[in-house]
Structure 1
Amino acid sequence: TTIVEPPQPIVTYRYHCDSSFYLEPLEEMLKDAKTYGLLVLDRREAAVGLLVGKHIEAHRTLTSTVPGKQRKGGQSAHRFQQLRLIAIHEFYKRIGDAASDVFMAVDQKNFEGILIGGPSPTKEEFESGDFLHHELKKKILGLFDVAYTDESGLPELVNAASEKLSDIDLIAEKKLIQRFFTELVSDSGKAAYGEESVRANLLIGAVEVLMISEDLRAERLTIRCPNGDHEAKLTKAFKPGEDYFSPGPCPVCGYSMEVVEKVDIVDELSEMADQMNTQVEFISTDFDEGSQLMNAFGGLVAILRFSTGV
């Protein structure tokens, strides 16, 4: 048995009966994905990561031993300043070594460049020094102001560098969600969220763009009374390893209802969208807007072609 772990998360579940394996989602992952190096730093801490396609990966975090600006009693100001400068230089060297290790391990054919974030003058001091591998220094795309320099600063850096990254999927996703938010707060009526509203608008062909969170895991169940007295559909969050679900008693005769069909909701809504010539976008949760889509809107929203009131 050979176990292959996909380089990116699989965002759909499909029950497929055929004489051949269904490999299209895996084949899509084999296409070249642009990769950017991410580095955020100040004199206290630093984080190194990668932007691979539309996913942000944190690889290394570092903390410094640089003393504060207040010196201990008995130390001369000059000696204290010299010790502090040495500690800063050593920390920058550690950051450069960690970043070089991460960035040089990437397939350089798809490595587009390096983004550096942090407060001034820290990032400028680091960029002007010889702390990165000489081949990597040529690939620095720009310096950007960010407030956080731990792992949470990596998404902030991507956001700050959006103009440099305007052609990648992640920035396109951010712009789509921002467009949805704009429609939501306006009086246009061209924003829909929640499964019931999105499904109703898909059925009448009103959806221009369907946005589905990559973290959405749910199944559409058809339940039926064994006596034929009642049938209904419901959506249930998908839990890996859960083999049994009881839909409860029939509201007519009281007998236990049975699950007669299960469909992955992502597959179902995607097929509905295809039939209506609707654009479907899977949204990463690696950035704030994507997390908000999942946590505040249940992972399912739509931009409509026209207002429907549904």
Structure 2
Amino acid sequence: MGRSDSVRLYRLKRMLNELSQKKGRGTELISLYIPQGKPIHEVIATLREEYGTASNIKSDSTRNHVLDALTKTMQRLKLYAKTPENGLVIFCGALPTNGLGSEVVKIFELEPPKPLNIFLYRCDDHFHTDILKDMLKEEKVIGIIAIDSSEAGIGILEGNKVEVVDHITSGVGGKHRAGGQSARRYERLREMELNDYFNRVAEHAKSLLIDTYNVVGLIVAGPGPTKDDFLKNGYLDYRLQKSVLAVLDISYAGREGVREALEKAQDVLQEYRLMEEKRLVRRLFEEINSSKGLAVYGMQDVINALKNGVADIVLVNDNLNRVRIEVTCKRCNAREERIVSMDKAIQVKQEMISNACSKCSSMDYDVYEQDLIEYMDELAMNTGARVEVISSSTEDGKMLESLGQIAAILRYRIN
């Protein structure tokens, strides 16, 4: 089974965050963006020209570092028969490993999450990652209006995040129950107040959902007929009117209504990652509370379930921030592994290699460090399981966090 989209995005975000923090001594770091369909031989020809230009750099150190980076990049490109489907991005350059003079030329290559339509070559003191970061931004934003005669809530769904961006009260009184002229006068006043209220909601909706967020779709919801009156009488900006995806009957308006509308709109919003995350987390808690008990949570239990082929779907928070460190004795191949938080990785590695091997007393080790989510993803791919990365900023992500940030839905019960 292939790597899930959520893991691919997690890996890409993590790599871009790391690359954006790296700095070169001078203009020694190469950023190369190759669009879909551009012949590899043309790119190599361009880099050969850059090699000739770089040969004239006065600083010996900078010149050698740039030439080495160009050479390494051209060698890597020769491994490609053609440009990948979405294009190709390569970052290469001399990066310090332990202060001045410790630079080592490193290369990083990745395929964009969407088709790349720009060719870019830059040699700078940093890697140009903004183009890729922009690709990761959620393009589609859905608007939600939850309205009745007393209040309205305006919300947006962007990627994994639902946010109530405005709340409007109407000031409109309830319906008058008495008869006669006073009742008719009261109803006329009430209609005027409703008209004013609907206009205010429409103005706020235009300002937020078109001018600020530029939504691609709109859900209008609420209890009773108010939402229908609001829609059919042309209060909304025509662009929002045309983008209505669904009109939903719900129990509440206002802030609570926005959240309830999201719950009711699953069919409309099925393409959105949030709904998939909600479905997975709910399924997990159903299994935890079920007599079958097809779920485990906690880091070690989940890893054991993956190793034993029992796990079907692993759910993990995107802010797990843990790494797996494996130390192998070069003499006798004895291994020790630890899983620690990222901020303690350097300290723990030093502790692990400062002690003699428990089997042969050697002090000569190989050290391997890997992001824990990527390690679990490799285990999952070996057994046909899958890992899903759950946003920590959502309500469902916080529910997963309460279980220790990691859990698994099982194929069968563990005895």
TM-score (norm 1): 0.70
Structure 2 residue 396 is matched with structure 1 residue 293: no
Q: Is the 8 A contact 1:212 1:281 kept in 2?
A: yes
Q: Mapping of 1:24-43 within 5 angstroms?
A: 27=132, 30=135, 33-43=139-149
Match of 2:260 in 1: 156
Aligned CA-pair RMSD: 4.1
Inter-partner Cα distance in structure 2 for 1:41 and 1:286: 26
Deviating more after overlay: 148-157 vs 193-202: 148-157
2:135 alignment partner AA: L
Q: Secondary structure at the match of 1:30?
A: helix
Q: Which of 194, 206, 209 in structure 2 is aligned with 1:88? A: 194
CA apart distance, 1:210: 1.3
Inter-partner Cα distance in structure 1 for 2:276 and 2:254: 25
Match of 2:408 in 1: 302
Q: Secondary structure at the match of 2:285?
A: helix
Inter-partner Cα distance in structure 1 for 2:372 and 2:206: 42
Inter-partner Cα distance in structure 1 for 2:249 and 2:406: 32
CA apart distance, 1:23: 8.3
Match of 2:156 in 1: 50
Q: Is the 8 A contact 1:56 1:286 kept in 2?
A: no
Inter-partner Cα distance in structure 1 for 2:326 and 2:306: 23
Q: Mapping of 1:173-188 within 5 angstroms?
A: 173-188=277-292
Deviating more after overlay: 144-153 vs 40-49: 144-153
2:164 alignment partner AA: A
CA apart distance, 1:232: 7.6
Inter-partner Cα distance in structure 2 for 1:278 and 1:78: 67
Total equivalences in the alignment: 276
TM-aligned CA distance change 1:92 to 1:301, over 3 Å: same
1:293 alignment partner AA: L
CA apart distance, 1:264: 4.5
Q: Is the 8 A contact 2:377 2:386 kept in 1?
A: no
1:103 alignment partner AA: L
Q: Mapping of 1:1-310 within 5 angstroms?
A: 13=14, 18-20=106-108, 27=132, 30=135, 33-68=139-174, 76-105=182-211, 111=216, 113-214=217-318, 216-220=319-323, 233=338, 235-236=340-341, 264-284=371-391, 288-294=395-401, 296-309=402-415
CA apart distance, 1:50: 2.1
Inter-partner Cα distance in structure 2 for 1:98 and 1:200: 52
1:149 alignment partner AA: A
1:172 alignment partner AA: E
Q: Is the 8 A contact 1:13 1:264 kept in 2?
A: no
User: Runs of 5+ in structure 1 lacking a partner?
Assistant: 1-8, 225-230, 250-259
TM-aligned CA distance change 1:305 to 1:233, over 3 Å: same
CA apart distance, 1:120: 0.7
TM-score (norm 2): 0.54
CA apart distance, 1:35: 3.1
Q: Is the 8 A contact 2:112 2:132 kept in 1?
A: yes
Deviating more after overlay: 9-18 vs 180-189: 9-18
Could you tell me the percent identity over the aligned residues?
26
TM-aligned CA distance change 1:128 to 1:145, over 3 Å: same
TM-aligned CA distance change 1:58 to 1:221, over 3 Å: same
TM-aligned CA distance change 1:134 to 1:13, over 3 Å: closer
CA apart distance, 1:10: 6.8
Deviating more after overlay: 189-198 vs 86-95: 189-198
CA apart distance, 1:175: 2.5
Q: Which gives a bigger RCO, structure 1 or 2 (Cα 8 Å, sep 6+)?
A: 1
1:233 alignment partner AA: R
Inter-partner Cα distance in structure 2 for 1:211 and 1:194: 11
Q: Is the 8 A contact 1:155 1:287 kept in 2?
A: no
Q: Is the 8 A contact 1:219 1:262 kept in 2?
A: no
Inter-partner Cα distance in structure 2 for 1:245 and 1:84: 70
CA apart distance, 1:115: 0.7
